[in-house]
A and B are shown apart, each in its own frame.
Chain A
Amino acid sequence: MARRKYENPQLDMTPMIDVVFELIIFFVVTIKQEDLFSKLNANRPAPNDQQTQQDVVDTTIKIQIGPGGMVYNGRGVTVKELDRNIKQAAAIDKKTTVLLQCTLNSPHKFLVDALDTCAKYGLKNLSIFSM
């Protein structure tokens, strides 16, 4: 029996179509859009490091985070108001230390919101305290 390719000189497209379909299916399955993540840096002073807290308390921004919301330098604020306040503070000095005091029962959401707002205006000295 002579070899097939001499009998039928036409190119057989079937395997190529198979492979192309395979590739299409492969990409359809694998291209799944993933969320992009970011990281928000913060410092965590050692537990019971009251000394540091006392030293810097006058020259800093203090954000208290409770179960219901945030308090900026003694005034209750929404995320929008916090944004405005931090913008003003950052315009004066980007090196200002921001103290974030979280109560134990506060949701993590507020801490991330506050850290994100600080990151937005380039504040880098962020310290997290727990109460």
Chain B
Amino acid sequence: MAKKCSENPQLDMTPMIDVVFELIIFFVVTLKMAVEKDETVQLEDGKHGIELTAEELPPSHLVIDIAKSGRISMCNFTITPNEIRQRVRDRKRKFGSEFPVLIRADYRTQHRYVKEVMDACTVEGVWKLSFVAVYDRKSGKQLTK
């Protein structure tokens, strides 16, 4: 046979599969790192609370972050108490009043900012609030002053 390419007409798939796996792994790893919370928030220990598992976090749950500076955010977007009220109202319309509201407040933040968030929830008729704390410091990260 004259032409070289017709000697071995089968396409070797191995490098392509390698690259595809590499890409899949890359995206799996990077997508998990997408920031959905305020990473600066440091939480106080709460070893006796209810452990937060997947069942404790139904799709209806709401997480509100409060940074040390008093910045209030959801999914790492800064929001105002009025916007919290709006979100809570939307949730209430969709899921009824029984949905978990989790407040991730930095251990150094002042109560006035926590109050703003709590008031925004109670005005909309949500009385049951939960504060997120650290159950077990598995990552070994400690609180900084």
Check: A57 CB closer than 8 A to any chain B CB: no
Residue of A whose beta carbon sits closest to that of B56? A39
The 0/1 profile, CB within 8 Å of A marked 1, for residues 67-86 of chain B is: 00000000000000000000
Main secondary structure of the interface of A (DSSP, over half): mixed
A19 to chain B, nearest CB (A): 8
Chain A residues near B44 (CB, 8 Å)? 108-109, 112-113, 116
Check: A97 CB closer than 8 A to any chain B CB: no
The 0/1 profile, CB within 8 Å of A marked 1, for residues 20-54 of chain B is: 01100100110010000000000111111111100
Chain B residues near A116 (CB, 8 Å)? 44-49, 133
Chain B residues near A46 (CB, 8 Å)? 122-123, 127
Check: A115 CB closer than 8 A to any chain B CB: yes
A65 to chain B, nearest CB (A): 7
Q: Judging by beta carbons under 8 Å apart, are B46 and A108 in contact?
A: no
Main secondary structure of the interface of B (DSSP, over half): mixed
The 0/1 profile, CB within 8 Å of B marked 1, for residues 41-52 of chain A is: 111111100000
Count of residues in B whose CB is under 8 Å from the partner chain: 54
**Complexed CA–CA distance, A30 and B18 (Å):** 19
Check: A33 CB closer than 8 A to any chain B CB: yes
Chain A residues near B100 (CB, 8 Å)? 39
Q: Judging by beta carbons under 8 Å apart, are B118 and A38 in contact?
A: no
B56 to chain A, nearest CB (A): 7
Q: Judging by beta carbons under 8 Å apart, are B111 and A41 in contact?
A: no
Residue of B whose beta carbon sits closest to that of A4? B8
Q: Judging by beta carbons under 8 Å apart, are B118 and A39 in contact?
A: no
Known: A33-B139, A44-B129. A108 touches B25 (CB 8 A): no
Q: Judging by beta carbons under 8 Å apart, are A38 and B46 in contact?
A: yes
Known: A37-B133, A115-B49, A128-B129. 5 other contacts (CB 8 A): A35-B135, A38-B49, A108-B106, A120-B48, A130-B112
- 21 A–B pairs (Cβ distance < 8 Å), ordered by A: A22-B22, A22-B25, A26-B25, A30-B32, A32-B139, A35-B138, A36-B51, A37-B133, A39-B50, A39-B131, A41-B128, A105-B110, A105-B111, A107-B108, A108-B110, A108-B114, A112-B105, A116-B47, A116-B133, A120-B47, A130-B118
Name B's A-contacting residues (CB within 8 A): 7-8, 14, 18, 21-22, 25, 28-29, 32, 43-52, 56, 66, 100, 102, 105-112, 114-115, 118-119, 121-123, 127-141
Name A's B-contacting residues (CB within 8 A): 1, 15, 18, 22, 26, 29-30, 32-47, 65, 102-109, 111-113, 115-117, 119-120, 128, 130
